[in-house]
Structure 1
């Protein structure tokens, strides 16, 4: 009898010990909190925390403990910054980042330490291509996705020839390849690829060349200040050739672009005015919680990172150490996103609708879905 009681007591102690071990899930944000992309990093964190708070501050019954590192959008500091979170803070989950060069280092550090990484913005194809790993997920986009979706739009409008324009860097090159792939598969022809060094904004020689080439349409990838100046310079040059872009051309830039952006068509995985119950609820809640920030695509990507983590934790009843089972559940998850239903490819990329948007005032209004359930090809991924 004494032995049986002792055995039961030991079992109870082990059970209590197991529950105690599940006290917190440690989430490390490695995002830009200073510099050009600071607002984007803050929006990602805001969206993630809002989702967790909507669940009562816990996921799968576990408290979430947060750690932060400002990655400064500096790839040279990225490995050390990632290791601060992985080794010093011993986070279970990494969330990051905006800059693709920083994200590449994050992915390598996460893979090397078997830490689950959710990429909430960076669009570099290599992250879920040659660098793909069961530990790496993305709740944003690949540079290829929005651009590929514009090819069919251009063809539907009867355009046969195109000129592409971007900076000569990874994001721009991958976007241009996406557009070229779908446009030429459908019978169109990109007659010239015009590029200038990043972050050069001396566009006049390129605009002169476009005028001489006389294509049916121009497709472009720019973001931030470069996008503002390109759209303004394009309008000021009086070019009549229609301008199409990957959605970052007009996301977060419309106030500065002003009248020169009105009517522009872009493609992206989110838009203003989707007018679905989920999106309306998200936008209302976000605007109330963060009155000085717009409920933008970056906030959505952070919110969905929270949803994806929740799907994984629920499958393991909060035991984040069951990494394989948790990641399998994350890959199999269907997320009810503000952008629409979201699933994941074997490579960990989002399979998602890409919207055709038109600028109206300071909004990118949805004109409908350009390509449904678009999956990045994840070229080079060996999973």
Structure 2
């Protein structure tokens, strides 16, 4: 009978190392044979369902255009409807991470859901890619090595308008916004840029979210007679505010400025009332670049509808996953290497090339758009390679 104890020590050590290497190799091969599991925490019902659909469409299109694999591995999607409900954010994240054991979570759209998602991502270390929610904290005080955003911060989309307003000679501006996180953060961003350029915000007017009755606020504006008005509203609220503004006789008398969401996806409802509105955003349908033209044509052909900013952000998420997993040969187990690869990514986006800041928010161009003939037309680049200040981030 052979007895391993009689083997020379060096031989036994070599055999042990060989067995260990074989075990690691087999485990790695087995893992590589499994699909990359992408958890989607997006709204598929309710008010924000169209946004969730656009993000999903854009991301899947980018991955399919890259061959349908990520780092040589097949892809499996696990979807959970966030319902844009902050109260369900933590259990939904746990369902994806503990239940389905996804490799990465993509989401959410809603900033309230984002707070819960970030909490779980920080606790578990699972990579979280935020394709929309713009609350500053995700890449500010709550930043983490495994948290990335492929969209924007509320500061980024509002701050450049401050300098634009000052350049137009406006000295005194009134702001109007919904009183909730993104609304107040947008006003703060604009105010910082405007005051830095020498302007004064004479009054901040807030409307309870999601109220859409603006008569008293419009009466205030008419009485105050500011040089211009900066607002943050989106969706149905944006459509109604712009129409009410024109109906109150203020259109053409007191210029209206806004974060780009004022006219994003709302122009058809706003009609002629939107003509001449100036907004700042990190994308416009009319961007005249080869990447944007191809992207919009591909999206139109595949989904029989026009792409929007949410589809762009989903598309860029797919590009980020493809690029980073190619760099680490599909190894999602080594999270440190994978997140380092994400941090180093350079995305050739329909919105223009962008990279990540140290806090993992896009460093990107912000465009000045003017509504002409029912479209957001790019007038100029309001800020080139703008990085969010990421105040409070300790990375």
Q: TM-score range by the shorter chain?
A: over 0.9
CA RMSD of aligned residues (A): 1.7
Q: Which residue is 1:58 aligned to?
A: 69
Distance 1:41 1:363 in 2: 23
Match for residue 19 of structure 1 among 21, 29, 37:
29
8 Å CA contact 2:143–2:393 kept in 1: the answer is yes
Distance 2:19 2:147 in 1: 41
Match for residue 307 of structure 1 among 319, 322, 328:
319
Match for residue 215 of structure 1 among 213, 220, 226:
226
Over 3 Å counting, the alpha-carbon distance change for 1:117 and 1:10 in structure 2 is closer
Distance 1:338 1:376 in 2: 20
8 Å CA contact 2:139–2:390 kept in 1: the answer is yes
8 Å CA contact 1:96–1:103 kept in 2: the answer is yes
Structure 2 residue matching 1:58: 3-state secondary structure: coil
Distance 2:369 2:264 in 1: 11
Q: Deviations over 1:148-200 (max 9, x none)?
A: 01111111111111000001110000000000001000100000000011011
8 Å CA contact 2:272–2:374 kept in 1: the answer is no
Q: Deviations over 1:192-238 (max 9, x none)?
A: 00001101111111111111111101000000110010000000001
Distance 1:332 1:130 in 2: 21
Q: Which residue is 2:154 aligned to?
A: 143
Alignment of 1:1-383 (within 5 A): 14-23=24-33, 24-239=35-250, 240-291=253-304, 293-383=305-395
Q: Deviations over 1:249-286 (max 9, x none)?
A: 00011111111112211100000211111111100000
8 Å CA contact 1:180–1:190 kept in 2: the answer is yes
Structure 2 residue matching 1:68: 3-state secondary structure: strand
Distance 2:324 2:301 in 1: 28
Distance 2:24 2:190 in 1: 57
8 Å CA contact 2:51–2:310 kept in 1: the answer is yes
Residue range with higher mean Cα deviation, 164-173 or 361-370: 361-370
Distance 2:370 2:50 in 1: 24
In the TM superposition, residue 105 of structure 1 has moved relative to its aligned partner by 0.3
8 Å CA contact 1:152–1:182 kept in 2: the answer is yes
In the TM superposition, residue 135 of structure 1 has moved relative to its aligned partner by 0.6
Distance 2:102 2:220 in 1: 51
Structure 1 residue matching 2:74: 3-state secondary structure: strand
8 Å CA contact 2:299–2:307 kept in 1: the answer is yes
Larger radius of gyration: 2
Distance 2:377 2:55 in 1: 22
In the TM superposition, residue 360 of structure 1 has moved relative to its aligned partner by 2.3
8 Å CA contact 2:66–2:322 kept in 1: the answer is no
In the TM superposition, residue 8 of structure 1 has moved relative to its aligned partner by 7.5
8 Å CA contact 2:135–2:182 kept in 1: the answer is yes
Distance 1:304 1:40 in 2: 15
Unaligned runs of 5+ in 2: 1-10
8 Å CA contact 1:315–1:325 kept in 2: the answer is no
In the TM superposition, residue 311 of structure 1 has moved relative to its aligned partner by 2.4
TM-score (norm: length of structure 2): 0.93
